Amino acid sequence: MDLKRSNRKKKKHPILKSMLFLALLLVIGTGIWGWHNRRNIRLAINQMGVAHLTRQDFSKTEEKVKNSTDYRVPDAKEDKLLSNIPSAKQYNSKTGQWEPVMAWDSWPVTTPDGTVANYHGYRLTMALTAVGNRSNDIGSKIGLYAQKISDKNTDASSWIYLGNVFSSFGEGKASSKDDCLNQAIGEWSGTTTQMNKSDNTLRMFYTNRYGTNKPGQALTTAKIEIDPKVGDDWKSGLVINHSKASDHKTVFAGDGKYYQTVDQIQFKGDSADSYALRDPHFVADGGKYYLAFEGNTGTETGYQGKNNFSNAKYFGSSSFFKKDVNRLNKKGNETEYNRTYLANATLGKLELNSDFTVKKIMKPMLTANASSDEMERPNLFEYKGKWYLFTCFWGNKMVTNNNYYLGKTYMFGYVSDNGINGTYKPLNGNGLVMQSSFKMNDPRYPYAWLVVKPSKIVNNRFVITSFEGNRTFSPSFMVEINGHSTKMVTNEVLDQGALETTGKTYSATAQPAE
């Protein structure tokens, strides 16, 4: 009898083991499904309220430019507007010669809300500079230029070059253990703010190009001092007080989850990531400090890869999405497919503490997954209760099979009706603000567009600054902003580097739609 019971128990063991194994598989499967599902939920939440520069939106650009001059740049033929800045020279002790300083990406010193500042009777502009020729990767320095507000002359000669903002990389370093700043090899674009009108200091944010083995980029800040040249006499001119540079430190170099880091760079076939973590733009709102910047999406905000081909929001309408994905998967479109796979440009945002360290990493304002791997120079400001976001980029950075866009540059814009942290919607229907068809070998070639909020806004007009021929300030353009629409002023331009719309103008015509 005991033997029979024993045999029955032994026969049940395989069944019990099978049941336990199935239960284990169920638990594991549920866990994997749950993890994957939770991750998808997180991604969906992180993308709520995020605007997208879609492939369909960009595909409408050619037609809009050809049908209206509202989106074209003005073209002025004045030779005077090709001038270098006469004072922009540095002495070469080896040759005994004064050598010209070339300027490209520039930005004005502003108040915390983004308005052009009056710095003790001067307008100030900073620009990326190099002696002799433009130098992108290594050795670029940020230079400072001043223009007396009282002077009636506002042409290129009115800008006085004051020299490099920092005499050496990392000048005024807050910590000797700042790895990014310790590897600095170049200074790239940023923003500069007059935090206190009564003192001699400016708060500066810029891009530290660091590392020789990889294209490291880090959002960086410093406090600098600009003093009167003679005693307390501001009319005597300005001088950079290098001994007072301080609080020079790295703010943000990516977190990997919200924004891609340099270590996450990928390759796909014949294409490579166009990595970015640069162009910081500071703005204050309601006592809070924010820093907008150009970057790439991280793993928790819609990463690059196959994800780009499964989200219709990146493409536009459902029908456009299906048609475009089918086309990209066909033989012969491998390069465009690879570029679409890697495209994940974004305009991100941080909330800062009062000491300009990171308080909160915020989700992107705008992404260009599947559309572009680069959107440059974000600018963010409030006007008439709405917040405006602008960016510029090269046409050849857009992932498209339409050769019309090659060799052209663009500015796109977005607007939020519900505050700085609201949802941004494309201006003019698809985001297009301006197209430029100037060729790179044209001495008038402009780029690095930046919408500037003048100290006095007249007729809803704002200034657009840029460089000219990688060497000097371009004539400034004007754009009219009305709610959810914009219109380029094409019949006139301002002086080179002008920051106000009320200065001298020169006749122009709208550039032809090529």
Q: Which of 178, 376, 468, 495 is catalytic?
A: 376
Burial class of residue 91 (count of CB atoms within 10 Å of its CB; 0-12, 13-18, 19+): exposed
Q: Which long-range contacts (CB under 8 A, 24 or more apart) does 286-289 make?
A: 288/351, 289/351, 289/352, 289/353, 289/354, 289/356
Tokens of 245: 């540079």
Binding residues: 104, 189, 273, 278-279, 304, 344, 373-376
Are 366 and 357 spatial neighbours (Cβ–Cβ below 8 Å)? Answer: no
Cα distances from 136 to residues 187, 393, 484, in angstroms, run: 9, 16, 35
Indicate if 376 belongs to the active site: yes
Indicate if 500 belongs to the active site: no
Write down the residue that tokens 């994957």 correspond to.
36
Q: Which of 70, 105, 468, 495 is catalytic?
A: 105
Q: Which long-range contacts (CB under 8 A, 24 or more apart) does 62-71 make?
A: 62/402, 62/404, 62/405, 64/428, 64/429, 64/430, 64/432, 65/432, 65/435, 65/513, 66/513, 69/488, 69/490, 69/510, 70/428, 70/486, 70/487, 70/488, 71/428, 71/432, 71/433, 71/434, 71/435, 71/488
Distance CA 492, CA 507 (A): 5
Binding residues for substrate: 104, 189, 278-279, 374-376
- The residues annotated with a catalytic role in the active site are 105, 376
